[in-house]
């Protein structure tokens, strides 16, 4: 007396993210290394210091199930559920 349409789907993924930043330390005795009034050309800038070193990894999985029940041309009902699992490491 009713027609069912069942949908089953999955989602799977992984994300790897790594970031290294180097910056100049402006809190030292000479924070401005360039004098705009008397520039010194050919002068080497001091080495950059490590600022951040970030590594992140994500893994995720999802499972979807859906059932649409058609009673006639005018009436239908939809049931669905989703399961998600996510793991994240810093």
pLDDT at 28: 62
56 vs 79: CA distance, rounded Å: 36
List the domain boundaries for the chain: 1-13+56-90
pLDDT at 51: 83
Dihedral of alpha carbons 37, 42, 43, 47, sign? positive
pLDDT tens string 15-34? 999 999 988 766 665 555 67
Query: Which residues of the chain register pLDDT less than 70?
Result: 25-33, 45
Dihedral pair phi/psi, residue 12, rounded to 5°: -140, 135
Is the entire prediction scored with pTM above 0.85? no
CB-count burial class (<10 Å; 0-12, 13-18, 19+) for 24? middle
């Amino acid at each position: 007396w009713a027609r069912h349409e069942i949908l089953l789907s999955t989602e799977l993924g992984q994300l790897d993210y790594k970031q290294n930043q180097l910056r100049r330390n402006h809190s030292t005795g000479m924070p401005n290394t360039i004098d705009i009034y008397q520039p010194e050309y050919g002068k080497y800038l001091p080495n950059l210091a490590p600022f951040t070193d970030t590594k992140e990894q994500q893994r995720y999985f999802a499972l979807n199930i859906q059932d649409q029940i058609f009673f006639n041309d005018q009436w239908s009902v939809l049931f669905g559920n989703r399961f998600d699992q996510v793991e994240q490491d810093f």
